[in-house]
Structure 1
Amino acid sequence: MSDFDVGARLKAIREDSGLSQRELAQRAGVTNGLVSLVERNKTSPSITSLRKILEILGMTLAEFFDSGAPADPGRFVFRHDELTEINPGRIYLSAGADALKALSLRRAGKQGQTNLLLLYETYDPGADTGEEAYSHEGEEGGFVIEGELLLSVGDTTEILRAGDAYLFDSRLPHRFRNVTQKRCVVVSAATPPTF
């Protein structure tokens, strides 16, 4: 997924919807310049901006990043090397390129086949989901398997260590960060799937 062409994907979906860049931008409440720059891969959208754009196109983040490959409906085991890299952090620059490159999110299963998003997350030192907290419909929870993770939900910030868990209403603004010098591994789940 590291070769995922955000610009080409957005342009194709916009054109299929019969919208001009200007019309999409106006409906989404973003600038025409942003849509143009994203489609030409000259800038990376924030999570908030991309969600606004995709909402107008009637699409979730999960659908946007879906490779489109068919899934085997009877399959229930996914080996680590078969997990789908969905790492949206690599295209969101609100935390800076270095912090976001240190974040990896790998999904079990195929988007659209389940009502649960199950992730194996790796936060290298300095990884951050962005300076801008984000929110979405549903709930999410997880377990810290290795290392430490700084989690902010609403106005509260907590440090989670190996063996600790979290569970919250994901409509509350939230942010994940590794502020230590060691890798952090988290296994998480969210419903409904958001990407």
Structure 2
Amino acid sequence: MTEIDIGARLKTIREERGLSQRELAQRAGVTNGLISLIERNMTSPSINTLKKILEILDTTLSDFFAQGERSEPDRFVFRHDELTEINPGRVYRAATAESLRALSFKRVGRSDNTNLLMLYETYDPGADTGEDAYSHEGEEGGVVISGELLLTVGDRTELLHAGDAYHFDSRIPHRFRNISSEPCIVVSACTPPTF
């Protein structure tokens, strides 16, 4: 297994995002000196510290350590256990901790250099993206694979069942909920990628 230069990798991603060491440190709640030490490989961050830093850089631990995947530009198949778990709390900040624990978003493919975000979503009973509807640039659509999903777009609410689909302008505030006693599985896509 090839050893990853954590410092160089962190510096590259930070610079790609247009952040200074000071800006990154402030947003992540760590010291500027720590970022500098990590980038110079003078210290190894704990997993929790690295996760906090990478969250600001909109990168997951698995993406950070999966640099070998970049050498597979022709790759088009991603097995279920290779999908990257996305923290829904990064997007749905108005959701309660309990309802966020009932959500699972797994991204298909890599997050870099793509115009499409595809997700395999699991909404356990009680999952809710938050009382405050969420909106963002672009459009999104999805298909309910199993279970039921209560979808609100603007001032309209619809209950979707397995086989039903949705497609809407994402600039309209929207909310997803599972009000049933069974899990709901959705495969969705949005463009441009939001996370």
C-alpha spacing 1:122/1:109, structure 2 compared with 1 (3 Å): same
CA contact (8 A) 1:65 1:86 kept: no
Partners in 1 of 2:58 and 2:146 — Cα distance?
30
Aligned to 2:163: 163
Whether 1:100 and 2:90 are equivalent positions in the alignment is no
TM-score by length of 1: 0.68
Letter in 1 for 2:161: R
Q: 1:74 to 1:19 in 2, by over 3 A?
A: same
Question: CA, structure 1 residues 192+20, in 2 after alignment: closer, same or farther (shift >3 Å)?
Answer: closer
Inter-CA distance 18–87: structure 2 relative to 1 (3 Å threshold): closer
C-alpha deviation, 1:114, in angstroms: 1.7
Q: CA RMSD in A?
A: 2.9
What secondary structure, in the 3-state scheme, does the structure 2 residue paired with 1:98 have?
helix
Please give the secondary structure, in 2, of the residue aligned with 1:182: coil
User: Which amino acid in 1 is paired with 2:192?
Assistant: P
Percent of aligned pairs with the same amino acid:
62
Aligned partner of 2:59: which letter?
A: F
Amino acid paired to 1:39: G
Distance in 1 (CA, whole Å) between partners of 2:153 and 2:164 is 16
Aligned-pair CA distance for 1:89 = 3.0
Task: Give the unaligned 5+ runs of structure 1.
Answer: 1-8, 25-34, 41-60
Question: Cα 1:119–1:157, aligned 2, differ >3 Å: closer, same or farther?
Answer: same
Find the structure with the greater CA-based Rg. Answer: 2
Are 2:127 and 1:127 aligned? yes
Paired residue total: 151
Taking structure 2 as the reference length, the TM-score comes to 0.68
Please say if residues 93 and 100 of structure 1, whose CA atoms lie closer than 8 Å, have aligned partners that are also in contact: no
SS in 1 for 2:58: helix
Task: Please state how far the C-alpha of 1:130 moved relative to its aligned partner.
Answer: 1.4
> How far is 1:91 from its partner?
8.1
- Sort the Cα spacing of 1:62 and 1:108 in 2 relative to 1 into closer, same or farther, 3 A: farther
